């Protein structure tokens, strides 16, 4: 069965932009995955313990796997980028979260969907609203664009063409 899935990507250790771009490329190469939409990348202030700011973004995928199989593949991908979990909400080279799967509500030991903390996270809702504003959050019945209006988005800023994080600024 094919599912439409929204995922969040984040990084605040190493060369975050390269790591995130490579992660998207790896996702696109996976059999059974079609990348439907990808948001811009955003600089975001860290939520949680003191740590460097993050780069975050979201993507919408069409996936021919079960949600748990997808989680396992995303955890594998995180591990390939050297993610080590030292501290809850602490710094990481690559964080991949499943946000939404169709209109499903899942409460499994290893997987909760919708992601239980997505509603309070501007670093998720800003990029997600860019690519899926009308997707209804199945627990609240609210559109993502509406949820985004309800959070403080201070400091969530798109990477620009001339951002120092971009290695080769375009000249056109």
Ligand X SMILES: Nc1nc2c(c(=O)[nH]1)N=C(CO)CN2
Binding site for ligand ATP (CB under 6 A): 71, 75, 85, 88-89, 95, 97-98, 110-113, 115, 117
- Which residues ranging from 138 to 167 are in contact with ligand X (CB under 6 A)? none
Residue 118: name the closest of 139, 103, 102 by CA: 139
Place of tokens 């202030």: 45
Residues sharing a CB contact under 8 Å with residue 13, sequence separation 6 or more, in sequence order: 52, 91, 92, 93
Q: What is the Cα 63 distance to its own chain's centre? A: 16
Q: Is the peptide bond between 110 and the residue preceding it cis, with omega within 30 degrees of 0?
A: no
Residue number, nearest CB to ligand X = 10
Residue 67 contacts ligand X per CB under 6 A = no
Residues 89-108 that bind ligand X (CB under 6 A): 89, 95
**Which of ligand X, ligand ATP, none does residue 123 bind to, with CB < 5 to 8 Å depending on kind?**
ligand X
CA distance 160 to 167: 12
Q: Is 41 in the site for ligand X (CB under 6 A)?
A: no
Instruction: Determine the interface stretch with ligand X among 17-25, 41-49, 67-75, 78-86 (rule: CB under 6 A).
Output: 41-49
Question: Distance between CA 163 and CA 25 in Å, rounded?
Answer: 21
Nearest distance, CB of residue 118 and ligand X, angstroms = 11
Annotated active-site positions, please?
83, 92, 95, 97
Binding site for ligand X (CB under 6 A): 10, 44-48, 54, 56, 89, 95, 123
């Amino acid at each position: 069965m094919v599912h439409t899935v929204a995922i969040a990507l984040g990084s605040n250790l190493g060369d975050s932009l390269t790591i995130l771009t490579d992660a998207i490329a790896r996702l696109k190469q996976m059999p059974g995955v079609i990348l439907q939409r990808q948001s811009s990348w955003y600089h975001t202030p860290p939520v949680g313990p003191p740590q460097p700011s993050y780069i975050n973004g979201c993507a919408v995928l069409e996936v021919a796997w079960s949600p748990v199989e997808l989680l396992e593949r995303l955890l594998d991908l995180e591990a390939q980028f050297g993610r080590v979990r030292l501290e809850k909400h602490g710094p990481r080279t690559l964080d991949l979260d499943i946000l939404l799967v169709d209109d499903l509500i899942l409460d499994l030991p290893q997987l909760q969907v919708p992601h239980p903390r997505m509603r309070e996270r501007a670093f998720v809702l800003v990029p997600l609203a860019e690519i899926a504003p009308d997707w209804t959050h199945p627990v609240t019945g609210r559109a993502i664009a509406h949820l985004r209006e309800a959070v403080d988005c201070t400091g969530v800023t798109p990477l620009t063409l001339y951002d120092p994080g971009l290695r080769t600024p375009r000249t056109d």
